[in-house]
Every structure is written in structure tokens, then in C-alpha cells.
Amino acid sequence: PVIRREDYLPPAWLIPEIALDFALGLDETVVVSKLSVRRNPDGNGTATLRLNGDQIAPRAVTVDGTALNDWKLDGPDLLIELAGDAHEVAIETVLNPAANSQLMGLYASNGMLCTQCEAEGFRRITFFPDRPDVLSTYSVRMSGDKATFPILLANGNCTAEGEGEDGTHWAEWHDPWPKPSYLFALVAGELVANHATFTTMSGRRVDLNVWVRPGDEGRTQHAMDSLIASMKWDEETFGREYDLDLFNIVAVSDFNMGAMENKGLNVFNTRYVLADPDTATDADYDAVEGVIGHEYFHNWSGNRVTCRDWFQLSLKEGFTVLRDQLFSADMGSEPVKRIEDVRVLRIAQFPEDSGPLAHPIRPDSYQEISNFYTATVYNKGAEVIRMMRTMAGEEAFRKGTDLYFERHDGTAATCEDFVKAIEDGTGLDLARFRLWYSQAGTPQVSARLEHDGRIARLALTQTVPATPGQPEKAPMPIPLRIALFDRDTGTHAGEHLVILDGDEGSFAFEGFDKPPVLSINRGFSAPVAIEMEREDEDLVFLAANDDDPFARYEAMQSLVLQHLVAAVGGGLDEARRASGRAAIGRAMKAIVTDPELDDLMRGELMILPAESYLAEQLLVSDPGVIHAEREALKAWLGLELADELKALHDRISAVPYSRDAAARGARKLKTQALVLIASGDAGEGAARAIAQYRKADNMTDRQGAVMVLAGLDCPEREEALADFLARYEGNALVIDKWFSLQAGSFHPRVLEQIHALAQHDEFRMSNPNRVRSLYMAAAVNPQAFHDASGAGYAMIGELIRKLDPINPQTAARFVPALGRWRRVEPGRAAMMRAELEKIAAVPSLSRDVREQVTKSLG
């Protein structure tokens, strides 16, 4: 069944209060839910109360204290006929958390009990109007065996606790803030806390806890530091203060996504909590900080103001991603963070926009909402709000967000409400800008710079490509930050913000005796693709001179991209190949040796465009050729710059471990230098990598070395992999790395190795982190996935079929890789399609996988 945005109706019945009683057990939990039911004056007046359920059955139902015998089931939902306007309804259900492999609702993980309710998991716990516009005050009582569940947590504050019979105990929790059911949470188990306090700007003392399994407490300090920094930052940057006396974070090892912002009780995937230098890379540290911030920021953008319906998901996710991006930028390097965010957008979101699953940031329909927790809703959603901020300026934008929070606090709002508040708060006219919410597809902007007399004229045109269900598109306002550089001085006279509002636009700039060099979409001010014919020398100029660090990175990316696209298209004769390589070599050498650059930024500039981003540039492409050309360029660079790279690797190998930016920059570069050295000379690469591995005193260096070795066919590879596994026995997150480093390598026999890893004792189909560590790494590894035999496609197809009955949400995440078949050369495309058809033929397919496969087949 297709759910449509335009069919929204307000709820017929409201539930101002709910009292939940849990008798906890790992394989049997009894839930009694008491609902105060009130007719919604704005509803349609129906006498039928529809309570959603999913794989649960009512054991008893009472209405106003009287047992009901004639309740009806409509599919999974419970229907109760009510005569008046106010009733008390009680429902008993029984759950088996240990058997809940979908990890939605109440489930067992590692001997503890926890919940995941967003988007529609609450209906797997009890019958309820499980939609985000029904807000209730929750009171929770839970009881259970004290030895199994020494710690009992729920949303809000603990109001009472005590001992029961037969070694049980109980606790009562109350959350004063009305919330939708998707924000409900409960956790019970053996946990230990890293405890701290935070005093808010108005003087409220808040108890903070990061709860983990005993033994993991030594890896929680970075999470705690990140939480405290988030709380402070949101006060200073957005004026948002925390609103309870307690804030709990719990780390669980079986989790479908990253983390969940349940009110006062955030539940996290362990990988976004646990970090210490021996087990977490610098990137892992950054991810912890970012996700801790993200979930904390949801307390306002998500919880205090929630979503009216799931089509509005980007209201909370796009905005919260922007907030976490700005937070991370303030905590570290702003330009480096911007570059990373754009790289993610291009690798993960651009392919969504140009494929069969394309959808606007505010979708119009869905079959399974879990499939819409996408890079489009999250990351493009953040870019759309960032554009408003760019057009308004920071100060005015803050007025807009203040107005938004003030107007909609305590309610379930829409994306339209957000845009209206920004409009009213900033004074911007966003009438046409709203198209960014309704149109899918990455706008293509072509740019041409003409020079005439003393005038430079920038001519721009845009097209928004057709996407499934949206054949015709209107032009959208596109804010582009630009600068025009003087070739002789290497400087410009000031940045401009031009807004391309229609199909085409022309912008004139005076005072140029010679044709300037155009720097466009600086800071990636708009999430568009820029098409422009550019001389290599202009790009080399910008890569060396642009004062916008993002633009500098962009120039380097374009230089390489232009070369590789031509090479992949077969359009390079030997002379042009040589001159293209020479230009890239010059630019790269300047980057490697520039004393002014900090190493974190240098590391960004040295990253070559991803193969998937390269494929994006071509309508249809051969992944084998893309892979070969990109690897060939790496090998050429590794040889051409061998001396510089070795000198760089030597210099930074001497920098001692610390968490400061300089040392982190050194570690990032160390591995990048190693990658290029190994591409040029495998023997030299192996020797340096194993030396780096043996003397490593931190995970960044160790993982970098193993990453390089995993792709080489040499004895050092086996030494490092065996040592790594033995050293980290019992540490699930590091064992995940061991799997993904191998599955992601460009080793000639990588497919064979992945098949062997699937049989390894440590592999678990029931644990999403482990499944992703092996198979997601494989699915994004072009050498494995796009193997010319089709074996990579078959492997992912088989995984989807095996995983779907266990965990449909995680299984569905693998479908888009196969769904790209239209953009791949015909031989492989046929094999990819055949895999999709094989999946589609499974009769008992989940709604999650069914939707993705059907849309992918088109």
C-alpha cells in the first residue's frame, strides 16, 4: 500500500496520557498500556479508535474498566468503537524480545533489553496511534529480575524505585514533556555509567550519564566530552537549553542505524560512543562527536518541535544534520569539515538523485518509511537549509530559527512551517525556493565566463533533470558564491553571491583588463553540479591560489575528474594523457610540499575523486574501466612523486600521538602517503606499511597500515591481519574493522576472501554492524562488487535474500547498489537486473525490500 502526503488527515482521537507497565524478561515481557483517549475536536468525528499494531496480539482489552470482547482487528491494527468523547482504554500484550531480530520495538541485545521506536516500532510493543502528531505524557513502570536488569531506564526522570519479590526490583519514570510514540525508550540491563554534570545557561543542574557494558567504561570519556560540548554549543549558537534534570545515553551493540534521540534517553550504536586511542581512529572520534551532537540537538529540532507526519522527516533530520555539521566545524577545522560533508553528499546523495530511488527531500509517497532515512532527506535536506542560511546571513538566520522554535514549540510541525518561519524571521522571499522541497534531482548548472573590454560576464543556465514521477521540472533559486581572480596577482577583489533564479542568468562584473579566473560555488554554496569547460592551467591556478579552501579542493577534484572522465571515455591520446597527468602531478606536488598548508587540509587536497563520483559524470559507464584508470593514475602519481611522498611519510611518522589538530593531520597524511607509495611501488609500500603497523601506538596508524597491506599480495599482509585479529579479540567494533578492511581492499582475490570471511567464526548475520562491516564494505568496493563475472552482484543479491527474513530494514539498505544498473555498461547491467529479479521473485519479501526492488526494476 502506498502512503501519500496529500492524504494527511488529523488524528480522530488523541492520547494526552499513557501509563505503561512492563514486566520484563528477555524472552517474555508483558506490557500493560493504559491510554487516556480523547476525541480530537479537529478530527473527523469517527467513533472508531484505530490503534496500530505490528506482529503483536492483544491479550486483554478494557474500556473504562470493563473487559471488552468485541474488539476487531483490521490487519495488524486494533479497532475499538467508542461512544463518547473521553475514555480510558487498557491493553495487555506479550512480547518475546529475544526473538526480535528486526531490532525494532523492544529487543534483546547482548543480554540487555532496549527499544527502537522510530519510525514505527512502538506498534511492535503495544497498540497505539503510532504517528508523530499524537503527543502524550508518558509514565512508565518496569519491574524485572535484579540480577539480569540491575539498571532500569526510561524517558524523563526516575520518580520512584524499590524492591519486589523473588529477587525483582522496579522503577517508575515520568517524562513531563508530551511526545510522540517514536520517542519512547526503555533500557534494562547490566550497565555502568560515566557520570558528569552540566549547568545550563539558566542555572539548571543536569546529571549526565553515558551507560555502557561493564568493561567498556574506559572508552566513554570522548562521548561525555562531546555531550558537554554539544550542550554548551547549542546554548551559544542557537539559544537552545536542555529541559530535564537528567540526560542518559546508552550504547548498544545491535542497532539498525547510528543512534536515536529518545527524549532524555538517547540510545546509540556502540560505534558512536566507544572511543580510545588504541581502538578508535581519528575519523571514529569525529563520528562520535558528530553523532552525539546530532542526537543531542534533536532535543529541540525533533523533540520539542516534532514532525506532523513522516513526509516531514527532513524537518527534523535536515535541520539537525545542518546543526551537527556546524557544531563539528566549530569543534575542529571548518574547511575540512565542509569538504568531508560535500564528499559524503556526492558519494551517497548524488547517486540517489540520479537513480531509480530519487525522491525530494520531502517525499510525496512511500510504502515503507524506513526506506526514506536517506542521504537525500538527511544530507541534501541539510544543504537546502544551509542555502537559506547563506542567503540570509548568520544573524538573520538565527532570527528565523528563534521564530521557528518559538512558534512551534510543543507541536508537530511541517517543512512549510519551517520555511515560513525562516521567511518571516529573515525577511527573505522563499516562494520559489520552496521548490527545493518538492523537486528531486541534482540541478546541473552550466557556467561560461566571457571577457569583453573591461567587463567579465558570467552566463549561467540550469536544468533540473527528470526523475521517476517528475518528468518536468521548474528552475530553482540557486545561490552561488563566486570570485574572479586576477591571474597575475593571484587575488580577487571580493566575493559575490549571485542567485540564479531562472533557466538562465547573466551577471556582469567590471574592472578586468584581462580575463579573470572564475571560482564558483565556493564553499559549495548550492548542492548542484557545475558544468564548465576549464583549462587545466586555470584549475592548477585555483588549486594553488584560491583563498576559499573548499574551492581549492574543488579545483583539484575538477582537474583530476576532467582527466579521468576523458580517459574513461577513451578520448585521450598519449600526448593528452601525458599532459593531463603532468598537470595533476604539478598540482599534487605543490600540495605535498606547500609549507603553508596544515596537514589536515593537505590530506583533503590529496584525496582523488571517488569512483562512484566519477561514474556520476557519465550517463553510462564501465566500472572496470573507471577502476583501472583511477588506479593507473594513483600508480603514476606514486612513482612520479615517490621522493616527495617518502619524505612526507618520514617526516610525519616522527610526530608523536596526541589528539591535537597537527598530530591528527599528520596521521591522516601518513596513510595517504602510504597509499600512493604502495600504488607506485608495492614492495616499498609493504615495507613501510608493516613498519608503520609494528610501531603504531594508536588505531589510526594501525588501521591505515592494515588498509594498505590488505590490498597487497605479500606475506606482510598475513602478519598484520593475524596480529590485528588476535590483539583485539573480544572487541566487536575492532573486529568489524578487521572484516571491512579486507572486504574493502583492492586485493586481486578480494571476492574469494569475502566469501571466506562470511564463513568466519566471528561473522554474525544477526548483528547489523558485522553485516555492514563485511557486506557494505564489499558493496561499495568497485573491485569486488563490479567484478566482471557478476559474482559481486550475486553475493549481494544472496545476502539480501538471506538477511531479509532476519532484518528487513538492514537488508533493504543493500538494494540501491544493484539499483544503479541503468548507469552501468550493458553486460554488467543485465547481471545486476537479473539479481534484482531474483530477489523480486521471493514471495515472502518484506515491504522494505519489496519497495526498493520494485522501484529499482522500474
Catalytic residues: 295
CB 849 within 8 A of CB 857: no
Q: Which range, of 113-121, 240-248, 511-519, 816-824, touches ligand ARG by CB under 6 A?
A: 113-121
Grid coordinates representing 439 are 523537486
Q: How many CB atoms lie within 10 A of CB 798?
A: 15
Under the binding rule (CB under 6 A), the answer on residue 106 touching ligand ARG is: no
| AA letter at 567 | A
Among 370, 376, 557, 753, binds ligand ARG (CB under 6 A): 370
Q: How far is the CB of 297 from Zn ion (least distance, A)?
A: 8
Closer residue to ligand ARG (CB): 317 or 804: 317
How far is Cα 551 from Cα 140, in angstroms, rounded to an integer?
53
Binder of residue 257, out of ligand ARG, Zn ion, none (CB less than 5 to 8 A by kind):
ligand ARG
Smallest gap from Cβ 858 to ligand ARG, in A, equals: 24
Which letter does DSSP use for residue 126 in this model? S
- Which amino acid appears at position 192 of this protein? V
In the complex with ligand ARG, which residue's Cβ is closer, 119 or 125? 119
Q: Which amino acid is present at 740?
A: S
Minimum CB–partner distance for residue 518 and Zn ion (Å): 37
Q: By C-beta, is 89 or 259 nearer to ligand ARG?
A: 259
For the beta carbon of residue 152, count every other beta carbon within 10 angstroms: 26
The window from 251-259, 409-417, 669-677, 755-763 that contacts ligand ARG (CB under 6 A) reads 251-259
Residues 320-359 that bind Zn ion (CB under 5 A): 320
Which one, 12 or 260, has the nearer CB to ligand ARG? 260
118 or 538: CB nearest ligand ARG? 118
Binding mask 291-310 for ligand ARG (x = CB under 6 A): ---xx---------------
Q: CB under 5 to 8 A by kind: which of Zn ion, ligand ARG, none does 835 bind? A: none
Closest distance of CB 382 from ligand ARG, Å: 12
For the chain, the maximum distance between any two Cα atoms, rounded to a whole number of angstroms, is 92
The site string for ligand ARG over 204-243 (x = CB under 6 A, - otherwise) reads ----------------------------------------
Owner of C-alpha cell 537549553: 241
Q: Does 257 bind ligand ARG (CB under 6 A)?
A: yes
Task: Please name the helix (run of DSSP H) or strand (run of DSSP E) that holds residue 157, with its range, or none.
Answer: strand 157-163
- Size of the chain in residues: 858
The region of 11-19, 257-265, 773-781, 787-795 touching ligand ARG under the rule CB under 6 A is: 257-265
Residues numbered 6 to 65 that lie near ligand ARG (CB under 6 A) are none
Least distance CB 324 / Zn ion (angstroms): 8
698 phi and psi angles, rounded to 5 deg:
-155, 160
| Residue 662 to residue 812: CA distance in whole angstroms | 40
- Fill in the amino acid letter for 721: L
Nearer to Zn ion, 306 or 557 (CB): 306
- Does residue 261 interact with ligand ARG by CB under 6 A? yes
Is residue 342 involved in binding ligand ARG (CB under 6 A)? Answer: no
Residues 6 or more apart in contact with residue 26 via CB below 8 angstroms: 97, 98, 108, 111, 113, 148
Stretch that binds ligand ARG, among 250-258, 442-450, 606-614, 828-836 (CB under 6 A): 250-258
Binding-site partner at residue 621 among Zn ion, ligand ARG, none, CB < 5 to 8 Å by type: none
Q: Which does 681 bind (CB under 5 to 8 A by kind): Zn ion, ligand ARG, none?
A: none
Q: Is 259 in the site for ligand ARG (CB under 6 A)?
A: yes
In angstroms, give the least distance from the CB of 317 to Zn ion. 5
Please, what is the minimum distance in Å from the beta carbon of residue 325 to ligand ARG?
A: 13
Of the pair 261, 309, the CB lying nearest ligand ARG is at 261
118 makes contact, choosing from Zn ion, ligand ARG, none, with CB < 5 to 8 Å by partner type, with ligand ARG
The strand pair at 13-23 and 29-39 is best described as antiparallel
SS3 for 319-380 is HHHHHHHHHHHHHCCHHHHHHHHHHHHHHHHHHHHCCCCCCCCCCCEECCHHHHCCHHHHHH
Site string for ligand ARG, 833-852 (x = CB under 6 A): --------------------
User: Buried b vs exposed e over 117-136: b needs ≥16 C-beta within 10 Å?
Assistant: bbbbbbbbbbbbbbbbbbbb
Could you tell me the smallest distance in angstroms from the CB atom of residue 373 to ligand ARG? 4
Which three cell numbers mark 206?
543536569
Residue 457: phi and psi, rounded to 5, are: -120, 125
Which of 256/349 has CB closer to ligand ARG? 256
130 binds ligand ARG per the rule CB under 6 A: no
Output the smallest distance, CB 656 to Zn ion, in A: 37
DSSP assignments along 431-486, one per residue:
TTTTHHHH--SPPEEEEEEEEETTEEEEEEEEE---BTTB-------EEEEEEEE-
At residue 121, the 3 state secondary structure works out as coil
Residue among 260, 555, 641, 645 that touches ligand ARG (CB under 6 A): 260
The three cell numbers locating residue 816: 540501491
Which does residue 256 touch among Zn ion, ligand ARG, none (CB within 5 to 8 A, set by kind)?
ligand ARG
C-alpha cell at 830: 543485465
Mutual angle of helices 847-857 and 826-840, in 10-degree steps: 150
Backbone angles phi, psi at 303, to 5 degrees: -95, -60
Element containing residue 505 per DSSP (H, E): strand 504-510
When the beta carbons of 137 and 237 are compared against Zn ion, the nearer one is 237
Stretch 292-321 residues interacting with Zn ion (CB under 5 A): 317, 320
CA distance 310 to 362: 9
- The answer to the question of residue 591 lying near ligand ARG (CB under 6 A) is no
Among 118, 548, 616, 787, binds ligand ARG (CB under 6 A): 118
Q: Which C-beta is closer to Zn ion: that of 112 or that of 313?
A: 313
Q: Sheet containing 48-51: give its strands across.
A: 48-51, 77-81, 72-74
In the complex, minimum distance from the CB of residue 256 to ligand ARG, in angstroms, rounded to a whole number: 5
Residue 119 contact among ligand ARG, Zn ion, none, beta carbon within 5 to 8 Å by kind: ligand ARG
Grid cell locating 215: 568493561
Binding mask 316-335 for ligand ARG (x = CB under 6 A): -x------------------
For ligand ARG, the binding residue among 15, 119, 449, 565 (CB under 6 A) is: 119
What does the block give as the cell for 719?
602478519
Task: Kindly determine how many residues on this chain lie close enough to bind ligand ARG according to the rule CB under 6 A.
Answer: 15
Query: How many residues sit in the footprint of Zn ion (CB under 5 A)?
Result: 2
3-state DSSP assignment of residue 2: coil
Q: For residues 489, 494, 500 and 505, what is the CA-based torsion angle, rounded to 10 degrees?
A: -60
Record the cell numbers describing residue 149, joined without a space: 536488569
- Binding site partner of 370, from ligand ARG, Zn ion, none, Cβ cut-off 5-8 A by kind: ligand ARG
Residue 828 Cα distances to 114, 445, 484, 579, 630, angstroms: 42, 30, 44, 32, 19
Give dist(CA 243, CA 241) in Å, integer. Answer: 6
Residues that bind Zn ion (CB under 5 A): 317, 320
Residues that bind ligand ARG (CB under 6 A): 116, 118-119, 256-261, 294-295, 317, 370, 373, 809
